[in-house]
């Protein structure tokens, strides 16, 4: 590494440490900074050589097409159907997609963008063979609009949604939720983002000169096994149904081995772990050195202020919103978005697995010749290359205050205990697997509760998700070292536990306390669900109904 780069890394670290502390960053001369844009524009420079390991430009949300940005208005028709699209360049694959035609444009898995307080109306048309329903992950809704599996409609049928978006700004998402079929339908392509905006969000975008799709970039991370023809292979074996189905390659916005070109500036990434089962230990690195970044938001939107971090765990369905500061970078610098190695803590899981011979899917078990090697959970992986191609003037700094909300003091009544464990080869919540007609959890509307989510010692990590409400994380106890070392509060919270959440990662042996406010405006009883967001666990029944009684 050159001295130049070393300096830059130090600068990045210092930037993170003193985000709002008045440090002097990389500065250009006054003339450079005040030059009008046309004159500041670089003469055309020769393209930088491609890294053969990252040859594909990252797909980003544009004005139509895949993940295209659709500003919600009027009545949408969202059709879940087979579509063709090349994941590997030049290899057209058959996938499933949510297709929408709107104002003369065609979208697949549109990024639905709406203002907080806006009206959402859509007809879901299930043009799949299997039953399906759309769940709006993270939104506060009544059960009719939530997309509970109970409302799944048969192939050919429709389901109408109509609701007011009351959530604060955040990156929510939508996906199918039919019981037993969720994992397959998501894996084959049915995933979209639901971006809510409000005044705080718009202020940040303004302060940092962000533009969604260009410099404010959603990254949907999904691991997929593609065969040699570029087709997605969904064929979990027993062991994979138990642990979760993991793919051989990690796609970002559907792009395998992607790169992203940028100018010297601050980039925002809204990262969604849309994988069925794989967790990531997200970091940015330059060579062996980690590059500090700012965590600015979680599942339910912006944090009160930016938090400096070098790594965050992201389990399935969680989102993290981060800023990567490349103001001090030079043309030709690269940063790699990676998942660092971690202990998957799955060894215990086989205590309850059906039979040991069914669990031979790990990379170290000899793969059958036709099979692609699948990285084991916790293996280090590089996900995307970020290349600095342009040096330009960008004179913005990260605001100290991003949002205002109350921290929860966690002083409520006796907590409700929620246990996660395994018996007879099945993952359970409070000793149960899913029964559509039963509602084992009943809470009273307009009350606040503490829940202690206790993951058994002989278990595996479970991303614990609640429909219909965002909650606060109060404490983590019994955390493994790889989690506790990220603690930024005496209660053991990491910086990604500081915001609003709809999914929280629970490690084996850990007890995570959360606070939930069951206040909502919907009349009568409302039935939601509580489940593990490892989609194979969910499809296997690690899910219970929760009634919010009027
Ligand atoms: Cu994304 Cu029931 O969940
Ligand atoms: Cu959900
Ligand atoms: Cu689970």
Residue 434 CA to its chain's centroid (Å): 25
CA of 531 to the centre of ligand 2 (A): 9
- The closest-lying atom of ligand 1 relative to the alpha carbon of residue 503 is 1
Q: What ligand is nearest to the CA atom of residue 244?
A: 3
Give the DSSP H or E segment for 308.
strand 301-309
Residues in contact with ligand 1 by the CB-under-6-Å rule are 135, 137, 175, 177, 317, 465, 467, 529, 531, 533
User: Which ligand number lies closest to the CA of residue 182?
Assistant: 1
Which of ligand 1's atoms lies nearest the C-alpha of 177? 2
Summarize pLDDT for 331-370 with one digit per residue, the tens: 999 999 999 999 999 865 454 444 434 343 444 444 444 5
- 374: Cα separation from own chain's centroid: 21
> Which is the closest atom of ligand 1 to the Cα of 467?
2
Longest CA pairwise span in the chain (Å): 71
The closest ligand to the CA of 273 turns out to be 1
For residue 242, the ligand closest to its alpha carbon is 3
Residues with Cβ–ion distance below 5 A, ligand 3? 462, 532, 534, 537
Which residue has a Cα nearest atom 1 of ligand 1?
137
Residue 502 alpha carbon to ligand 1 centre in Å: 9
* Closest C-alpha to ligand 1, atom 3: 137
Coil, strand or helix: which one is 344?
coil
- Distance (Å, whole) CA 386 – CA 333: 8
Residues of the chain with pLDDT under 50: 1-40, 349, 351-369
pLDDT at 525: 97
Question: 415 and 427 in contact (C-beta within 8 Å)?
Answer: no
Q: What is the pLDDT of residue 537?
A: 98
- Please give the C-alpha separations between residue 5 and each of 288, 345, 387, 457, in angstroms, as whole numbers: 12, 36, 14, 44
Q: Are 461 and 503 in contact, with CB atoms under 8 Å apart?
A: no
Euclidean distance between CA atoms 382 and 190, whole angstroms? 24
Report how far residue 118's alpha carbon sits from residue 164's, in angstroms, rounded to the nearest whole number. 6
Burial 295-316, CB ≥16 within 10 A → b, else e: bbbbbbbbbbbbbbbbbbbbbb
Class of domain 5-25+205-390: mainly beta
Ligand 3 centroid distance, CA of 533 (Å): 6
Q: How far is the CA of 465 from the centre of ligand 3 (A)?
A: 10
Q: What pLDDT score was predicted for residue 11?
A: 38
What is the rounded distance in angstroms from the CA atom of residue 245 to the CA atom of residue 233?
11
């Amino acid at each position: 590494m050159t001295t130049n780069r070393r300096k830059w890394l130090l600068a990045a670290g210092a930037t993170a440490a003193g985000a709002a502390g008045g440090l002097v960053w990389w500065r250009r001369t006054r003339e450079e900074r005040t030059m009008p844009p046309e004159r500041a524009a670089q003469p055309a420079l020769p393209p930088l050589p491609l890294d053969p390991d990252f040859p594909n430009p990252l797909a980003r949300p544009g004005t139509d097409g895949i993940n295209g940005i659709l500003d919600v208005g009027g009545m949408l028709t969202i059709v879940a159907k087979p579509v063709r699209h090349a994941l590997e360049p030049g290899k057209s694959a058959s996938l499933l997609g949510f297709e929408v035609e709107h104002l003369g444009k065609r979208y697949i898995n549109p990024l639905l963008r709406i203002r907080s307080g806006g009206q959402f109306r859509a007809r879901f048309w299930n043009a799949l063979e299997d039953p399906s329903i759309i769940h709006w992950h993270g939104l506060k809704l009544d059960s009719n609009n939530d997309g509970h599996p109970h409302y799944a409609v048969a192939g050919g049928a429709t389901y109408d949604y109509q609701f007011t978006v009351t959530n604060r700004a955040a990156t929510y998402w939508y996906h199918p939720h039919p019981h037993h079929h969720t994992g397959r339908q998501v894996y084959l392509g049915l995933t979209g983002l639901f971006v809510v905006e409000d005044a705080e969000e718009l202020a940040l975008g303004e302060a940092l000169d962000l533009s969604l799709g260009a410099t404010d970039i959603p990254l949907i991370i999904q691991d997929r096994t593609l065969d040699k023809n570029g087709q997605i292979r969904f064929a979990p074996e027993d062991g994979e149904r138990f642990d979760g189905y993991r793919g051989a390659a990690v796609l970002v916005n559907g792009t395998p081995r992607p790169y992203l070109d940028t100018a010297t500036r601050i980039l925002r990434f809204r990262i969604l772990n849309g994988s069925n089962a794989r967790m990531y230990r997200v970091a940015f690195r330059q060579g062996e050195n980690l590059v500090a970044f700012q965590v600015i938001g979680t599942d339910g939107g912006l944090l009160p202020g930016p938090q400096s971090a070098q790594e965050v765990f992201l389990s399935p369905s969680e989102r993290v919103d981060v800023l990567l500061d490349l103001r001090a970078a030079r043309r030709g610098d690269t940063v790699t978005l990676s998942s660092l190695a971690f202990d998957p803590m799955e060894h215990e899981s086989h205590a309850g697995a059906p039979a040991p011979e069914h669990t031979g899917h790990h990379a170290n078990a000899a793969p059958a010749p036709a099979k692609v090697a699948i990285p084991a959970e916790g293996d280090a992986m590089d996900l995307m290359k970020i290349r600095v191609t342009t040096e330009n003037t960008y004179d913005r700094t990260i605001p100290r205050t991003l949002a205002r909300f109350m921290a929860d003091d966690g002083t409520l009544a006796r907590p409700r205990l929620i246990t996660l464990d395994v018996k007879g080869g099945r993952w359970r919540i409070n000793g149960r697997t899913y029964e559509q007609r039963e509602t084992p959890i009943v809470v009273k509307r307009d009350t606040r509760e503490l829940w202690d989510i206790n993951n058994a010692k002989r278990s595996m990590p479970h991303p614990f998700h609640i429909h219909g409400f965002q909650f606060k994380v109060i404490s983590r106890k019994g955390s493994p070292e790889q989690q506790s070392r990220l603690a930024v509060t005496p209660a053991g919270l990491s910086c990604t536990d500081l915001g609003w959440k709809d999914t929280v990662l629970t490690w084996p042996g850990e007890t995570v306390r959360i606070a939930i406010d069951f206040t909502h405006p919907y009349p009568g009883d409302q039935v939601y669900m509580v489940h593990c967001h490892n989609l194979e666990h969910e499809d296997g029944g690690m899910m219970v109904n929760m009634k919010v009684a009027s």
